[in-house]
Structure 1
Amino acid sequence: MRNRNILALTLAAAATLAAVPAALPAAAATPANPRTAAGHCPQLSKKLTWYGDNRAHLQQMIDERGSCSHPHLGHGKKRPVAAFDWDNTVTKNDVTDATIAWSLRHDKILRPKSWKSTSKWMTDDAHRALTKACGTKVPVGKPLRTSTNKACADEIFEVREDGKTMSGKAAFAGTWDHRHTVPQYAWVPQIFAGHTVPELESYAAKARKEALAAPIGATQTVGTHEIPGYVRYYDQQRDLIRTLKKAGFDVYIVSAGSEPVTEVWSKSVGIDRKHTVAIRSVLDRKGRITTWNQGCGGVPVNKGEAIPYIDGKRCWINQEIFGIKGKQAWDKQDRGDRIALGGGDADTDVTFVGDATGAHLVLNRNKNEVMCRAYDDADGRWVVNPMFIEPLKQKPDLYPCSTSAYNEHNGDKGPVRRADGSVVADQRDSVY
């Protein structure tokens, strides 16, 4: 079990470690369990709306893999695992953005000694832009006046959101594995360096209260950025998680956000700290967040090289849930060491959702790689649903699956391929 006190390290120590989905295939289907008809299996609510036959597909997987068919789960028989992304999968809108926005509006970002030191990939252009906008009058380690300094708030949010400065210059440069990390995601916990975990949790809790109280459709302004001002838990996902747990599943959240922020939100759907996996910051001896992160898959303590992002989510699932250590954690495992259900909404989720052996649940946000996989439906187990709140309209053009939907390790774009190497044809957006 994870213990933050054990994980706390000094910076010096860290540096040394330098289209309704098709029915399930006949071969995969099993006869209905007799207890299902009698109502003895945990059931998804019929009062909540799912697209097409999606509820039935998910219910079938729950009946087949859960305690209804395997009554000894947890008593000598390993529990099946379900894993969900958080932002825009369990909730509508991004809780990390909500926390950053609240923090910027309440002067909670501490001035670093050097902006360049906050990320190993930060460019000189970004360092200069942040330094100019935020100034040097505030002492190092003290709160920046981002509530009144719109230019400073703008630069910070633009770097986080788009990896660019307000003038359009690249905020990050260098070499990284584009399926293991993305610098602006890794930068989020890094800009909270100097705060304790309880402090960051308190900011997330206040942002949560504000976002849940705001009406659906509300916006807020950060600097000159207009962003969503509300967040909602999806009732369907709450119900799905609750039903999975009743059916004997171990349910996890695996997010590319900051772990203390995600934990504040996940506990309200019954997911505890042990079952919440996100970017894990290294703490100093006083319990303060540093710009260093814990590693995965043989990557030691690092500056953001191995976060839960695309293939990184597989790594963290393999390492933290299935106990697979070292480089092997990056590999697709045998069925016995894979999740039964994966749920996501974006390309950052495509690998772990695709690893699921029972059902791949995708909320359609028009993200190329994951939607190519979902619509191709190679194993007949992909379940595509529009967003439950403010769903997107139909994507007017085809997903470029055959040419440029796949995110290559070096940052290039390429064709999406099936396990046998064949190329996925371009796909029409059909669930919206």
Structure 2
Amino acid sequence: MSDAAPASPAVRRRRWPFVLAAVVVVLLAMAYWGSRPSRVATAVLSRVEAALGLEITVGGASEYRLRDRPTLVLREVEVRQPGAATPLLQAKRILLSLPWSTLRARGAERVVHRVELDGPRFDLAAYQAWKATRPTAPTRLPTLTDGLQVADGRILGGNWSIEHVDLDVPSFHPDRPVAAEVSGRYVSGRVAVPFAFRAALTRPSRGAGLGLVGGVEVQAGTWRLPMAAIASGRLHEGDDGLGLDRLRYAADARYVGGSVDEPFALGLAGRLRYRDGRLQLAPLGVGIGGTTLVPSLHAGGRLLLDDELAMALEGTLAQWPRAWPALPEPLGSSVSPLPFELQYRGAPDLSGGTALRLERDGTHFDAAFRLPAVLEWLESRTSGTPLPPLRGKLVAPRLEIAGAQLHGVEIEFEDEPVTESGR
């Protein structure tokens, strides 16, 4: 499985993070026509700033080459909204190669050979603050005949980031499908998600279809989830933020932790949004097809990620997993549905408190636990305590234990204190 992977969607015609950088550089070229390198800071940047309502500074030495193809190289570039404390874009190096016809057109033609960005750093919150001040009329995107390349980029989303972003777009036209390869590493707290995908976009505009196929791996301390995945959705940008509509995600996954290496199928569907430092999947549908340790289930709910991960799911277990402790009779042989409710709030690596409620044939079980402790117990329960590390209560009209029939049963489980989520 590649250590690399899905990046968050870029969005509307005028709203791709790194395409925004391309627009900035194209406008630089338009203004740069006929100038000398020493005049960039005055003649060039003032035009771009006026066109985009941004402040642009170039801290490093610039280059302007005319041989073969006119090429402009800018170093230590910083772009920010006037008065803002945080730049929306920084880059160690930006290269622009363009045809003579573009220079002669003085801005009327937006055709560029190639754009390269080294070490760009894009701040989503600063970008959204700037976009809120801009007119609603769409900005014209350039045509990139030889494409766009991003090396070692970084997208900042508040309490999470996408590091080491590499993007290769062989060619780009504002009215045609776009193909790309993208890789990176999502990081939030102690969770890391490297990914590597091939991407296809019907066209770079609002509501366009996006497709992704490749590899992604969730890494969280003592466990990981490598996945071969395929995803699709429609780009969205509006008052509720950036995101994807009609998100569909399907993966052949494996849970790997300790001595366990179990395959399972995972499917997600919903609506993805990012705004004001918060990622949200709501509504969210989840389907899991497991065998022994990983359960098979269908559920609906929501997931939020800001300072913490918050998740609420309600659904039905298809069957009681074989690797879990056997249920007492008559629950064990019952074929009745197993509805459940699960709530979690805590660290993104799922080490916080989880609340679970199960029902079957009039029996109710409410529990609070920490997932890492339960997983450790499941792996070693043959040599350890026969009771799972949780706190909870079981209420049943009837149970059979060791050949005895018990009626009106109430059993309480007490383990180390666990903070319940959402209750």
Question: Same fold judged by TM-score > 0.5?
Answer: no
* Structure with more relative contact order (C-alpha pairs < 8 Å, separation 6 or more): 1
TM-score (norm 2): 0.26
Higher fraction of strand: 2
Larger helix proportion of the pair: 1
